[in-house]
Amino acid sequence: QKEVEQDPGPLSVPEGAIVSLNCTYSNSAFQYFMWYRQYSRKGPELLMYTYSSGNKEDGRFTAQVDKSSKYISLFIRDSQPSDSATYLCAIVTGNQFYFGTGTSLTVIP
């Protein structure tokens, strides 16, 4: 079983839609949860970072962690064409980062 599972998509939504991206993980020892955005042919950039169960908001983005279910989500409100990218979850314990495979998102104008 992989440490982190993420649906690769692709996901295509109309502009203005609410997007939900999800990952599941297997090890309850994981401590930190991150979401990265990666544009085509670019390196990943950190979007959100949290370590506790619950929600964390930053503008149009909300990161949600449910440690009891080992499930994390990223919600994007009022999605824009500029949000079209691959979204990677990363789950961390100690110095080990485990990345999901990424979900490809296209927001159609």
- Which residues sit at the interface with another protein, rule CB under 8 A? 4, 6, 8, 34, 36, 41-46, 49, 88, 90, 95-97, 99-102
Nearer to another protein, 71 or 97 (CB): 97
Nearer to another protein, 48 or 76 (CB): 48
Give the CA dihedral 74, 41, 81, 48, nearest 10 degrees. Answer: 20
Nearer to another protein, 34 or 76 (CB): 34
Contact of 44 with 88, CB cutoff 8 Å: yes
> Cβ 78 to another protein, closest distance in Å?
26
> Cβ 42 to another protein, closest distance in Å?
6
CA torsion sign, 103 to 14 to 43 to 69? negative
Nearer to another protein, 61 or 99 (CB): 99
> Cβ 69 to another protein, closest distance in Å?
21
Q: 25 has which bridge partners?
A: 4
Q: What's 59's DSSP letter?
A: T
> Cβ 4 to another protein, closest distance in Å?
8
CA torsion sign, 74 to 75 to 81 to 83? negative
